[in-house]
Chains A and B, each alone.
Chain A
Amino acid sequence: MTATAKRKASEVVDDAVPPTTTAEAATTTTTTTTTKVVDLIKNLGGYDNMISQGAEGRVFAVTFLGKPAIVKQRFEKTYRHPILDKKLTKSRLNMEARGMMRARKLGVITPTLYYVDTHQAAIYMERVDGASLKELIRAGAMTEEEMRDVGEEIGRVVAAMHDGGLIHGDLTTSNILLRARDQKVVVIDFGLAHNSIIPEDKGVDLYVLERAITVTHRSAAMFEHVMAAYKQHSRQWSASFNKFAEVRMRGRKRSMIG
């Protein structure tokens, strides 16, 4: 049963690939056969430079068209039905690319998007030099003043995204970088980003951020600066704050009883 389903799935996939256009192949001078599957990440030497591996995908460092770049590739989940897996991977890749571009249009610094490779479920983007907020908090190297400035900047940035109807979805300190060259706040990993103007979603975003930031006594003060700046920059801060308080009481997940 499963085997039949799998075979069917692969047939569908095969059908989606158009047959080799031999007439066109003849017009190009190189004689490279076109039936092979090219692995761009392999050609770029990405597999030798893995930066990190998560549950959803892997990140590689490469040089793309002369620029330092990173490639984020989502990998196949073998436990999912292949058709469902293809669908989910594709829609999440799209969500991430759209989220990044949307954030930029709202004036939030994100890595520049270079290329989305749907065939390999990979996103190519600018490599940002800098340290994550997580590392900085853990090292305890920031002064009170720096923490205030960074906190305020984060509040402003999150307010800009929320007012623009963009929910980041995973606002943790490892997804907030301080760029080395100008100490600006750069937001990364829009893999869970989605469009929403519902205060509940904004509240959850803030709650995730609070949990991530308030890991030490000193950094707890930083979150107050985040909230103060959010209030100052968001037009809908009050609804977000109410929901935030609610979420805080019950945790990130909505109760399913009653």
Chain B
Amino acid sequence: MSSFAPTVLKFEAFPDRNLTVILFKDVTNAKDVLDKLLARTLEPEVALVNPRPIQSLFALRLAAHKALASRERNALTTRTLHSELVYNLSASKHITEGLRRFGMDDASDVVLACRFDASDADAAAMLAMFPGAVPVNDVEDGMAALRDDALVKKYYKPGELECKEGIGSVEDAVMSRIGARDVL
């Protein structure tokens, strides 16, 4: 545990902000944590993401970028910056549906915990949030291993032609749906 270092994502457009990401496996207390989150008593405030339908770390970064942009402009759609991150992972404008699909549920055994501008104490608190769970060292590989391609397909509906070799990838399709959601 002591050798574990959380992944910190940076944003070119917001040089003074960052996102700390920790991927947990073998989570057993999802229900307790979720209850606290919903009661808004969870400290520190975090985004608890279901990693299964997430295509890649890049998709998470884009959703986080969008959340920061909305935050800076006082144009958040949801209640907090962290819930906005979860909502932004969705390709649809249906907020409840987005939070349900891309947020942790009470039976989750894997979770991607994210916090903007986390201090060392925050990161430690995040690690302590899921006692017994195992933080994954390489988030990118860990996410790829946990990804459920059928869920990605169901939630983002990438077209057959657009994912053909030479035209684009599933990741491209996911990016465009996250990035352009608000104008579609």
Contacts and interface: CB of A to CB of B under 8 A. Distances in A.
Interface of A: 17-21, 24, 27-30, 32, 34-38, 40, 43-44, 62-66, 93-94, 97-98, 100-101, 104-109, 112-119, 124, 182, 184
A17 B73 CA distance: 8
B100 interface: no
Contacts of A93: 183
Contacts of B58: 65-66
A28 B62 CA distance: 19
A229 B61 CA distance: 41
Interface of B: 11-17, 44-45, 58, 61-62, 65-66, 69, 71-76, 79-81, 116-119, 122, 159, 161-162, 164, 166-168, 172-173, 175-176, 179-180, 182-184
A112 B176 contact: yes
Given A27-B45, A43-B14, A65-B11, A112 B74 contact: no
Contacts of A124: 179
Contacts of B162: 104-105, 107
A115 B184 CA distance: 12
Contacts of B65: 65, 115
Contacts of A116: 179-180, 182-183
Contacts of B116: 28-30
Contact of A112 (B17, B44, B122, B168): B168
Main secondary structure of the interface of A (DSSP, over half): loop
B139 to A, nearest CB: 15
Contacts of A63: 12
Given A29-B117, A65-B58, A115 B75 contact: no
Nearest to A101: B176
Contact of B16 (A21, A32, A44, A184): A32
Contacts of A62: 12
Given A29-B122, A105-B161, A117-B69, A18 B74 contact: yes
A111 to B, nearest CB: 10
